[in-house]
Amino acid sequence: MSDDELEEYAKEQIGASAYPDDKHVCSFFKCEQCGATVPLALDISYSQACDNARPALDFAGTVRSTCSKCGSVETIFSIIRGQHPEEEQEHPVCSCGSDTFLVCMCERYEGAQGLQGFFDEGVIVGKCSACGNLRTFLFTD
């Protein structure tokens, strides 16, 4: 599934235009049980190793999804740093009241001007399944 608006938003969030030689890879999360890209409800657990900004600028923790189609729960993203516990929980809800989003991750890999192929940073964003509002959930570094 492709949603050009969400991909463009993700690239804007990590400043892709400032890095024209780098490779920006956008991937939509899908339900592994259904095998389809469908809206997902998210539960985000933040580790003590994560910064306090929200959305997190240097995320550490776990993102779990619940499929809007079949209800299966999966871990879709996780960064563990040491033995730091995950203490803070967030269940993102759009201003319209919906809690399901089409979810995309965009990652930047350095090009010829840097350490070619080296992961630089990424972002996880979503588009509300009800109203289409765009939202940034977290950044990775």
Structure confidence by residue, pLDDT tens digits, 130-141: 999 999 999 998
Q: Would you state the pLDDT for residue 29?
A: 96
Residue 1, pLDDT score: 46
In this predicted structure, the answer to whether residue 70 has a pLDDT above a threshold of 90 is: yes
pTM for this structure? Answer: 0.91
Read off the pLDDT of each residue in 53-66 and give the average, rounded to a whole number: 93
Bond from prior residue into 55 cis (ω within 30 degrees of 0): yes
Q: Evaluate whether 57 touches 30 at the Cβ level (below 8 Å).
A: no
Q: What is the pLDDT of residue 116?
A: 66
Domain ranges of the chain: 4-140
Residue 104 CB neighbours (<10 A): 23
Task: Choose the weakest-confidence range: 40-54, 68-82, 100-114.
Answer: 100-114
Bridge partner list, 101: 40, 128
Q: What percent of the chain has pLDDT over 70?
A: 94
DSSP type of residue 56: B
- pLDDT value of position 2: 57
For residue 5, what are the contacts with CB-CB under 8 A and spacing of at least 6? 127, 134
